[in-house]
Chain A
Amino acid sequence: MNVATTDLTRRFGRNVAVAGVTLDAGPGVFGLLGPNGAGKTSLLRMLATVIPPSSGRIRLLGRDPGVYGQRRQIRRRLGYVPQNLGFYPGFTVVEFVEYFALLKELPAAEVHRAVAVAVERVGLGDKATAKLRTLSGGMLRRVGIAQAIVNEPELLLLDEPTAGLDPAQRVAFRALLRDLGQQATVIVSTHLVEDVGAACTQVALMDQGKIVFHGTPDELVARGAGTTAAGDAPLERGYSAVLAEAGS
């Protein structure tokens, strides 16, 4: 398993954001669903080695992120797009992606090619030399994805990656996710259940810091079948049904 967490907990003061999550994920696209404040972002931040867990155990790519040397090895193989993507407005698209390639310790000789490939994969080849301050929100999101995949990560963590993308870009993005999921473990936190249906092989649903469902998208659909749960699509009904059960 590329991701293995056991009883993972994260507290911010008195608030328990993640409450004992145990999760395994191998190669493939893994969807993380849940309402606002369910703990998805905190879980992803722990998996991205940005914050340490308050308790519990994590192993990423077979390594312990609590140990500096192993954490550094994990980070070389990690891609991460946070929910609020910051950027340096004066950098061009290529410079921004190159900056992350260098910070992820790609060998200098490989950087140029890797950056070009990443920028092309997100469809920003024609904007490669544009300053980030001139880009639209959707394009900036794609720049964020480009920096995440520039090192061909074995573990890719995406927090709301499709926010701001237009329908055509979302379709292309799902294809990219499926492609990346062939080799890597891709964990996508999203509110958009259609993204999960189209791209994910596995899905987990979080509520109040806990995983209340873990299975395939079809299994989630099945949970909503024959119920009166809210939703326009089968996945949405499954989502609502599981949350209703968890809340009862």
Chain B
Amino acid sequence: MTATPAMPVPTRPGRTARVPLAAAGRLLRLELRRNVMLWLLPIVAALFWLVTYRPAMAYPPLWNVRAMTMQTSASAVFVPTVVGAAAWLGSREARHGMTDLLSGVSRPRWVRQLATWAATTCWALVAYLGCVAALYAVTAQQGAWGGPLWWPAAVGAASLPAFSALGFAAGALRPSRFTAPLVAVAAFLALELTAQFIQGDDSPWQVSPLVAGPWEIGADHGVATFYRYLPDLPIVQLMFLAGLTAALLGVLGLPAGSGGRWVRRFTAGLTTAGVLAAVTATALAGTGRLDPHGMIAIPALHNPANDRPVPYTPVCGDTPIPVCLHPAYASYLPTLTAALEPVLGELAGLPGAPARIDQAAATYRQESGNGVSISSAGPAMRGTPPTLHLLLPFQLARSATTDELTSELRTNTAREILNSVIGGDRRRTTDAQQAVAAAILKTSTLPPGSPTANAAQRFAALPPATRHAWLTRHVAALRAGQLTLAELP
């Protein structure tokens, strides 16, 4: 036994306090240079091109569609990659047998882990923002009306620290060769499961970053053009993701050996605050309702100022009856005018014909489950001079190619315009109205050889000027359902 006197040891005061940020910066730079996420960036870029960019470019240049696509489909690209890379780095110390060596250093383990997580997250964010920049730059170059929507991009960006923290925590707390792959796949599964659980506009699962608006209609052409993009759901999602990030990072600091008393107290507080934020956000998402403009409003966060319509100057086609669209949909105008011009030429100048056709804003209504009904608000024909307000096919949550759109315009939209002048609808139509409609629309839905089909053929064979003159004289009677087939010329 040897008695050991406690020797005062000279300390080196202020050694670390002077430039802690510079040291943290160097540590981060070092982690950035040697981060596995850097090597995954080409894979991310390729997946982004295939899964997000290419399909987004198939849509017309609409900020709403491009932004919402960026939020939802880019999540699918980034989540498994970021979670896997973060879990891989989280288990790095154990995998490389560095645990003993690193246990003997003075900087708290939590700080060290934070640097690795931050570097992984930085690269993921750089990649994500690069993808956003590419998509938005091309959208702007294509002449999209309005400005870029930042809320969906912000939600997508905020999901990266959260998923990175999830992967990192799993890798650090349970290092094994199975952790990175299984957590990456499980995170992807969890993300997809949240989508399955969404039932209606008041589902708490809408807090998932995969959701940008009512789940069933997805990246809808009709929202956030006539009215603003509501920030309610994005705010809740950001709160949830920030909470999740904080809670998961906090959990890393809870085990003994993560740091001193203050570090562990701080991380316990961070975990608690994170859990509270995430739970609150989920509860808020559960109070959502579908607003008439097609977005999820959260009453506690809703700002009525966001309900005001966005002013715009319509763009109109050079047709006998001008067809005017919201400028965001200007790219549809050539297709629209080409499809409707023959019908509009027949109708122009007839008594009761609209002086102009305007695109209307859609009104959205939640139905049972995830069903959403989309309709036009108010009567179709209104105003002085009379203007026909129409919902166009691309506002009805249906994606369509140009050919499909043309066909839809020729059959449904043209018929709707025609019906507004000659009367009748799909349920109550007189034979005379049917024959005139078939003649003008040049459709062949009538039974061949039937009296109505024969009358339609006869009417269609008239010279346009004769047909127009007859319609000018008889359109009121035709609309009132007072004409018979025999009275058609």
Residues of A within 8 A of B (CB): 1-2, 4, 6, 22-24, 45, 48-50, 59, 61-63, 68-69, 72-78, 80-82, 84-91, 95, 98-100, 102-109, 111, 144, 147, 154
**Stretch of B2-10, B40-48, B185-193 contacting A (4+ beta carbons < 8 Å):** B2-10
Which of B16, B103, B261 is within 8 Å of A105, CB to CB? B16
Q: Inside 8 A of B33's CB, which chain A residues have their CB?
A: 95
Which of A23, A103, A109 is within 8 Å of B105, CB to CB? A103
Q: Inside 8 A of A77's CB, which chain B residues have their CB?
A: 12
**B106 and A50 contact, CB distance less than 8 A:** no
Which of A82, A100, A154 is within 8 Å of B9, CB to CB? A154
Which of A24, A45, A147 is within 8 Å of B4, CB to CB? A24
Question: Per-residue CB proximity of B22-66 to A under 8 Å, as 1/0?
Answer: 110111001001100000000000000000000000000000000
17 additional contacts (CB under 8 A) given A78-B106, A103-B106:
A4-B4, A48-B104, A50-B104, A62-B7, A76-B16, A80-B101, A84-B97, A86-B101, A90-B34, A105-B16, A105-B23, A105-B106, A106-B15, A107-B16, A107-B18, A108-B25, A111-B23
**B100 and A50 contact, CB distance less than 8 A:** yes
**A80 and B11 contact, CB distance less than 8 A:** no
For the complex of A and B, 5 pairs with smallest distance between CB atoms: A86-B97, A4-B4, A108-B22, A75-B106, A86-B98
Q: Inside 8 A of B102's CB, which chain A residues have their CB?
A: 103
**B18 and A1 contact, CB distance less than 8 A:** no
Question: Per-residue CB proximity of B424-455 to A under 8 Å, as 1/0?
Answer: 00000000000000000000000000000000
**A22 and B34 contact, CB distance less than 8 A:** no
Report how far A103 CA is from B101 CA in the complex, Å: 11
**A109 and B97 contact, CB distance less than 8 A:** no
**B26 and A98 contact, CB distance less than 8 A:** yes
Q: How far is the CB of B183 from chain A (nearest CB, A)?
A: 21
**A59 and B260 contact, CB distance less than 8 A:** no
Question: Per-residue CB proximity of B221-262 to A under 8 Å, as 1/0?
Answer: 000000000000000000000000000000000000001110
**A108 and B19 contact, CB distance less than 8 A:** yes
**A75 and B105 contact, CB distance less than 8 A:** yes
Q: Most chain-A Cβ atoms within 10 A of its Cβ — which of B22, B103, B261?
A: B103
Q: Inside 8 A of A98's CB, which chain B residues have their CB?
A: 26, 30
Residues of B within 8 A of A (CB): 1-2, 4-9, 11-12, 15-16, 18-19, 22-23, 25-27, 30, 33-34, 92-93, 96-108, 112, 259-261
Which of B1, B34, B96, B107 is within 8 Å of A102, CB to CB? B107
Q: How far is the CB of A144 from chain B (nearest CB, A)?
A: 8
Report how far A8 CA is from B7 CA in the complex, Å: 19
Which of B7, B27, B105, B261 is within 8 Å of A1, CB to CB? B7
Q: Report if A1-B107 is in contact (Cβ < 8 Å); known contacts: A95-B34, A98-B30, A102-B23.
A: no
Q: How many contacting A-B pairs (Cβ < 8 A)?
A: 125
Q: Inside 8 A of A59's CB, which chain B residues have their CB?
A: 4, 6
**A80 and B8 contact, CB distance less than 8 A:** no
Report how far A32 CA is from B105 CA in the complex, Å: 22
Which of A50, A62, A107 is within 8 Å of B23, CB to CB? A107
Q: Inside 8 A of B27's CB, which chain A residues have their CB?
A: 99, 102-103
Report how far A103 CA is from B48 CA in the complex, Å: 36
Overall SS of chain B's interface: loop
Q: How far is the CB of B395 from chain A (nearest CB, A)?
A: 52
Q: Report if A104-B106 is in contact (Cβ < 8 Å); known contacts: A1-B7, A62-B8, A76-B15.
A: yes
**A1 and B16 contact, CB distance less than 8 A:** no
Q: How far is the CB of B347 from chain A (nearest CB, A)?
A: 72
Q: What are 30 A-B pairs at a CB distance below 8 A?
A: A2-B9, A6-B1, A62-B6, A62-B7, A62-B8, A69-B260, A72-B260, A74-B106, A75-B104, A76-B12, A76-B106, A80-B104, A81-B101, A82-B100, A86-B100, A87-B98, A88-B34, A88-B92, A91-B34, A98-B26, A99-B27, A100-B105, A103-B27, A105-B23, A106-B15, A108-B19, A108-B22, A108-B25, A147-B101, A154-B9
Report how far A48 CA is from B99 CA in the complex, Å: 12
Q: Inside 8 A of A78's CB, which chain B residues have their CB?
A: 104, 106
Which of B1, B5, B101 is within 8 Å of A82, CB to CB? B101
**B4 and A1 contact, CB distance less than 8 A:** yes
Report how far A80 CA is from B104 CA in the complex, Å: 7
Residue of B nearest to A7 (CB): B1
Q: Inside 8 A of A90's CB, which chain B residues have their CB?
A: 34
Report how far A63 CA is from B4 CA in the complex, Å: 12
Residue of B nearest to A68 (CB): B260
**A61 and B9 contact, CB distance less than 8 A:** yes
**A24 and B30 contact, CB distance less than 8 A:** no
**A88 and B16 contact, CB distance less than 8 A:** no
**B107 and A103 contact, CB distance less than 8 A:** yes
**B261 and A68 contact, CB distance less than 8 A:** yes
Report how far A105 CA is from B6 CA in the complex, Å: 25
**A111 and B26 contact, CB distance less than 8 A:** yes
Q: How far is the CB of B46 from chain A (nearest CB, A)?
A: 22
Q: Inside 8 A of A45's CB, which chain B residues have their CB?
A: 100
**B19 and A109 contact, CB distance less than 8 A:** yes
Q: Inside 8 A of A2's CB, which chain B residues have their CB?
A: 7, 9
Q: How far is the CB of B336 from chain A (nearest CB, A)?
A: 57
**A104 and B107 contact, CB distance less than 8 A:** yes
Q: Inside 8 A of A24's CB, which chain B residues have their CB?
A: 2, 4
Q: How far is the CB of A2 from chain B (nearest CB, A)?
A: 8
Q: How far is the CB of B93 from chain A (nearest CB, A)?
A: 8
